[in-house]
Amino acid sequence: MLQVNGKNFLVMAKAMMAVGAAVGFMGCGGGGSSGGGGGSTTAPITSGGGNTGVVGPISGLAVNPGASQLELYSAGTAGTNEQFQLVIDGYDAQGNAKDLTRDVTYAISDDTVVQIDANGLLTAQAPGQATVDITFPGSSLATSIDVNVVASPANMTAPVFTALELLPKARTLYEVDMAAGVDQLQQTVIVGTDSNGRLWDLTRSNGVETMDYADPSLQPLPVSTAGQLDPNGLFRGIQDATDVLLVTKTTSGLVAGSHFHLGVGQSKPVSPGALFNGGPLTGSANPIDQAVLQVLQLNGISPAPLSTDGEFVRRAYADSIGRLPTPAETEAFLANPDRDALVDALVASPAFDAHMGKFFGEHFQMQDLAFDSWVASELAAGSTAQKIFTDLITQTGPGAAIFDTEHATAAEQVEEIVHVGSGYTIECDRCHDHPVASMADDPHALQTQRYQLDAFFVTDLDETIPLDRNANRTGNNGNRIEPGFPFDANVAVTTTLADDVATRRAEFAQIFTTSDIFFRGLSHRLFGSTVQTLMNPNQVLKATLDSVKNKPLLDALTATFKSQNASIKDFMTTVFKSKAYQLSSNYADTLNDELVVRHLVNRHHAEAMETLVANVTGSMPAQAAFFRDSFGFPLTRAAINERSTAVNMSQSLILMNSPVVHAGLTDPAGTVATLAADVAAANITQADAVNAIFKAGLSREADATDMQAANDLIGQAGSMEEGLQDVAAAVLSSIEAAAK
C-alpha cells in the first residue's frame, strides 16, 4: 500500500470527499535536501558484551579511550586537536560499568602542559609531557593516562580518518526511574583515528543522532524521547525500560554507534556492520543500485523497502509507455509478478517507442508530431540516441527535415542539440559572455566558445562573428571564429571554415555524440524523467554539478549509457530493472531524498490520469483538451520543460465532482453501474465490487481498513450504485491514484 509520510490510503470518509481530495496530490515527494545529522539508521543490536544490570561495589577504574597516551596539539591552534574528552568508568566484580567521569578526582603532574576540568575535558597548553592521575574518592582505586602535547604543524591539513568510535559502545543506565523522577548521566566521547594513528576527539564537532530503539522494524527509527544528548556529549537518560541507539557519522562515510538501555536490563554493543542495512540494493549487479548503495552506505542511511507489486506495475507502465495498466493487465501481472519480464515486454513494445518519440518531440520543442513518429520508427528499427542526434546534426533523413523546418537557423539548431543532449544552455552566449555557466565546467563561459559550436553548423560563414547586445556582428574584432569543442580541451577538431558544412557537421556529430557531456546529460535527463533528477537537467552549470549529492550515481549513469552506446532501450531497461527504481515511496524520512533513498512520489502525467479515469469509470474523461490542460499537458511545446506535474486545486475538483469525470462515474453502461448490477444479481459480492474498483484505480485490492471505509460509504448512500460511485470517486481523488 502506497504511503506518503507514513499516512496510508485511507481517505475514503466523507471528510476526505469534501476536503482531503483538494490536497490529494500535495506532498508528492519533492526534491528534498540532504541535511547534516539527518538520515535514517536501523541497527539490529548484536549479542554479547555490554552491561547486564545493576552495578555493584566499584572494584576498578578505566579510561575511555583506552589508549596509554594521548597526543594533543598546543593551545591556540584553532581547528586542531587541542582538547580531549575523557570518560571514566567504574567497574564492579562482574564487569558492569557506571560513568564516574564527574565523580573522580583529577591531578595533573604539570598543568603548564595540559589542564583538565571537573567534567573530564583535557585542554592542551604548551608542548611537553604530563600525567593525569585519576582517583575515586573514599577508595584506593586509581588509574592514569599520559598526555603528550606537541606544537601544531606549520601547514596544518585536515585529518583523514580511518576509524570512528562512539564510547562507551554499550551501557545500562540502571538508575533511570521515570516514576520516581530519577535520571542518570552518561558521558560519551567520539574518537576518530587518523591515517597516522593519532586519536582525535570529535565529540563537539560531529553530530550524533539519538533514536528510540523500541521497534527495530521501523525505518528510520524515531528520534529519542527517552534520553537527551547535549553538545558536550553528556547523555541524560530519562525514561526507564527503553533502549536508545546513538549514531554518529563523518563526511567521509565512517559510522559508529552505541546502545544504551535505560533502567534495569541489558545493553549490547552495536556491530559496525549493523548500522547500515542495504535492503533490496544489497547484492545487486545493476550499476545504478551499486552506485546508490555506495553512497547510502557511506552515509549510514538504509534505503526504503521494495515497492509492492501493485505500486510497481502502475509505475512501470506510466514511465515506459505513458499510461496506467488496464485492469486486465494488472490482473495478469499480479498473477505472475515477474518484474524483469514485464520490463522487457514494455520496452520492446511499440508503445514504448511512441512514448519516447513524444518525449524527444517535447524536449526538442517540435510542434509537428511527425517528428515524434520519426523518433519512434528509429527506436523500433534499433537506432540509438547517437544515431538520432547524428541524423539531426548532419541533416540526414525525414526527422532532420522536420527539425530544420521548425529550427531554421544554424544558431537555433546548435542550441537545441546541445541543450537536449547535454543540458548546457548556450542561448545567452549569442551576444555576451555568460557570467555563470561554462561549457568546460569552469566558472566563466566566453561568447567565443559558443561561436566555435556555431562554426560547425553555419552556411553563412559571417554567422561565426559574435553578436553584440544590439545584434551587430562586432565581436572578436569582426573576425570569424573557427570550429572548436570548448567542452573538452583534449578534443582535437580537424575541420575549419574552409571545409564544406556537411564535413563540419559530420565532425561535430562524431565528437558530440561520443563525448562525456552527451552521455552524462542525456542519461541524466532520461533517469530524471522516471526516477528523480540529481540536478537541474536543463541548466547544467558548474554550480549545478557541484551541488549533486549523489555524484557516484551520476557517474554510473554516464558510464552505463556510454557502455551501451547510448541505446535508449538498453539504458531504460537498466533503469527499470534497478532496485533503486523499484524502491517504495513509503519512507517517513525526506531529509535524504537527494541520495535516492526511496522512490519520490510524483503526480502522474496527464495521459496517465486519463487512463486512470478510464480504468475506474470505463470511459476516457470528457473534454479531453480541458482535462489534459488541467493536468499539465504541453499544448505548444514552446519550452523544453513545458510539461508540468505541478499540483493545483482544479485537478482535485475535476476528479471529485467535475462533469468531465462525473459523466463516466454515472454512465448507465459504465463500470460502476455494471458492478452495481452484478452485485444486485448476486453475480459478485459487494466486496468483489469494491476490490474491482481498487484494482482498476490502484492496482491492488482494498485492505481491511479500506474495505470498512468503502462499506460505510455504500451504507450511507441511497443505493448500491450511488455507494459504488462514492467509492470510485474517493479512489480517483486519492494521493495513491494520482501518484507514481
What is the number of other CB atoms lying within 10 angstroms of the CB of residue 476? 14
DSSP H stretches of helix in 322-436 = 327-335, 339-347, 350-363, 370-380, 385-394, 397-406, 410-422
Tens of pLDDT along 238-286?
999 999 999 998 877 788 899 999 999 888 888 766 777 788 999 999 9
Instruction: Give the per-residue pLDDT at 56.
Output: 87
Q: Residue 740 — pLDDT band, cuts 50, 70, 90?
A: confident
Instruction: Give the per-residue pLDDT at 62.
Output: 94
Residue matched to cell numbers 527495530: 216
Instruction: Give the per-residue pLDDT at 519.
Output: 98
Q: Residue 520 — pLDDT band, cuts 50, 70, 90?
A: very high
Q: What is the pTM of this model?
A: 0.76
What is the number of other CB atoms lying within 10 angstroms of the CB of residue 405? 12
Mean pLDDT of 554-567: 98
Mean pLDDT of 518-546: 93
Q: Which helix (H) or strand (E) segment is 261 a member of?
A: strand 255-262
- CA torsion 257→270→552→527, rounded to 10°? -110
Instruction: Give the per-residue pLDDT at 434.
Output: 67
Q: State which amino acid sits at residue 604.
A: H
Q: Residue 300 — pLDDT band, cuts 50, 70, 90?
A: confident
For 78, the 3-state DSSP assignment is: coil
How many H-runs (helices) and E-runs (strands) does the chain carry?
25, 20
Instruction: Give the per-residue pLDDT at 524.
Output: 98
617 near 667, Cβ under 8 Å?
A: yes
Q: State which amino acid sits at residue 34.
A: S
Topology of the domain covering 60-275: Immunoglobulin-like (2.60.40)
Shortest CA distance to 590 belongs to which of 28, 11, 21?
Answer: 28
Q: Reply yes or no on whether the pLDDT at 586 is more than 70.
A: yes
577 near 342, Cβ under 8 Å?
A: no
Mean pLDDT of 691-715: 96
Lowest mean pLDDT among 178-192, 425-439, 613-627: 425-439
Q: Reply yes or no on whether the pLDDT at 38 is more than 50.
A: no
Instruction: Give the per-residue pLDDT at 16.
Output: 30
Instruction: Give the per-residue pLDDT at 438.
Output: 55
Mean pLDDT of 184-199: 93
Q: Reply yes or no on whether the pLDDT at 525 is more than 50.
A: yes
Instruction: Give the per-residue pLDDT at 219.
Output: 59
Query: What is the C-alpha end-to-end distance of the chain, expressed in Å?
Result: 12
Average pLDDT, the chain: 88
Q: Residue 7 — pLDDT band, cuts 50, 70, 90?
A: very low
Could you tell me the residue ranges of all domains in the chain? 14-28+603-738, 60-275, 384-514
Instruction: Give the per-residue pLDDT at 581.
Output: 98
Q: How far is the CA of 733 from the CAs of 7, 66, 605, in angstroms?
A: 15, 61, 15
Q: Residue 131 — pLDDT band, cuts 50, 70, 90?
A: very high
Q: Residue 41 — pLDDT band, cuts 50, 70, 90?
A: very low
581 near 531, Cβ under 8 Å?
A: yes
Q: Reply yes or no on whether the pLDDT at 187 is more than 90.
A: yes
Q: Reply yes or no on whether the pLDDT at 462 is more than 90.
A: yes
The proportion of the chain whose per-residue pLDDT surpasses 70, expressed as a percent, equals 89
Lowest mean pLDDT among 11-25, 108-122, 178-192, 339-353: 11-25
Q: Reply yes or no on whether the pLDDT at 61 is more than 70.
A: yes
Instruction: Give the per-residue pLDDT at 76.
Output: 60
Q: Residue 484 — pLDDT band, cuts 50, 70, 90?
A: very high
Mean pLDDT of 127-139: 95
Q: Is the peptide bond before 220 cis (omega within 30 degrees of 0)?
A: yes
List phi, psi (to 5°) of 669.
-105, 10
255 near 245, Cβ under 8 Å?
A: no
Q: Reply yes or no on whether the pLDDT at 133 is more than 80.
A: yes
Q: Reply yes or no on whether the pLDDT at 437 is more than 90.
A: no
Tens of pLDDT along 373-413?
999 999 999 999 999 999 999 999 999 999 999 999 999 99
Q: Reply yes or no on whether the pLDDT at 15 is more than 70.
A: no
Instruction: Give the per-residue pLDDT at 75.
Output: 67
